[in-house]
Amino acid sequence: MGMTHVSTTVNGDREEFLCDPRETLLDVLRDKLALTGAKEGCGTGDCGACSVTVDGRLVCACLMLGVEVEGKSIDTVEGISTDEELHPLQTKFIEYAALQCGICTPGILVAAKSLLERNPDPTETEVRYWLAGNLCRCTGYDKIIRAVMDTAAEIREAT
């Protein structure tokens, strides 16, 4: 079996791994790099639990091959907080209890962070459409949307 050598950057750190061409980026993150924040929900790009950014672009890690990330920069939920300090989105998700079982949460945090970097003042409709590819089967969406809206407001006030 031919394994391919891949060099990449994950959350700012250089990483190297060997992978079979059929392995997805999600397989690589979870099984080779021990970054288990991104979850496999559906494996077909429908649920968004595996959301990460690649060169700043929000994607499903289950719909990208490990061999495709050669030379790319990947950011996962593990890189959202800095040292001991939670990201404002994480703080708000706790404050609003915007999670129950937590499976969808890493993907939603990564997706919401990507939205706020592009659009610091989104409308509720924009937040709902942006997060339409992140499915939650527990708490529903209302608290998630309110937590994201309030985080955006707080970041705007702070800057």
Partner 1 sequence: MHMQYHSPESFDEAVSLASKSEGTIRFLAGGTDVLVQLRSDIVTPDVLIDLKKIDGTKDISRTAEGWKIGTAVSGAEMSEHPELSRDWPGVVEAMDLIGSTQIQGRATLVGNLCNGSPAADSVPALIAAGAAVNVVGPKGERQVRVEDIPTGPGRTSLEKGEMINEILIPAKRQNGGDAYLRFIPRTEMDIAVVGCAVSLSLEGDTIIDARVALGAVAPTALLVEDASKAIIGSNLDDGTMAALAKAASAACNPINDKRGTIKFRTHVAGVLAQRVAKIAYDRARG
For 120-125, the CB contacts below 8 A with 24+ separation are 120/152, 120/155, 120/156, 121/152, 121/156, 122/148, 122/149, 122/152, 124/149
Q: Which of residues 2-31 bind partner 1 (CB under 8 A)?
A: 2, 4, 21-22, 24
Q: Which is nearer to partner 1, 61 or 157 (CB)?
A: 61
Alpha helices in 59-104 (DSSP H): 88-95
| 102, 129, 138, 140: residue in contact with partner 1 (rule CB under 8 A) | 129
Q: Does 38 bind partner 1 (CB under 8 A)?
A: no
Q: How remote is the C-alpha of 71 from its chain's centroid?
A: 19
- Stretch of residues binding partner 1 (CB under 8 A), selected from 82-90, 98-106, 108-116, 142-150: 108-116
Q: Does 153 bind partner 1 (CB under 8 A)?
A: no
Q: Which of residues 75-104 bind partner 1 (CB under 8 A)?
A: none
